[in-house]
Amino acid sequence: MFLAPTGSGKTVTAGTLKMRWATTEDPPDIVLIDPVKGDYRSMVEALGGQIVRCPPTPRW
The pLDDT of residue 43 is 84
Residue pLDDT, tens place only, 10-45: 888 988 988 898 889 998 888 888 777 788 888 888
The pLDDT of residue 47 is 84
The pLDDT of residue 25 is 92
| Distance from C-alpha of 51 to C-alpha of 16, rounded to nearest angstrom | 19
Q: Are 11 and 39 in contact (CB under 8 A)?
A: yes
Using alpha carbons only, what angle is made at residue 56 by residues 52 and 60, rounded to the nearest 5 degrees?
Answer: 95
Please count the structural domains in the chain.
Answer: 1
- Torsion over CA: 20, 23, 26, 31 (sign): positive
The pLDDT of residue 8 is 92
| Residue 47 lies in domain | 1-60
Contacts 24+ apart (CB under 8 A), 27-31: none
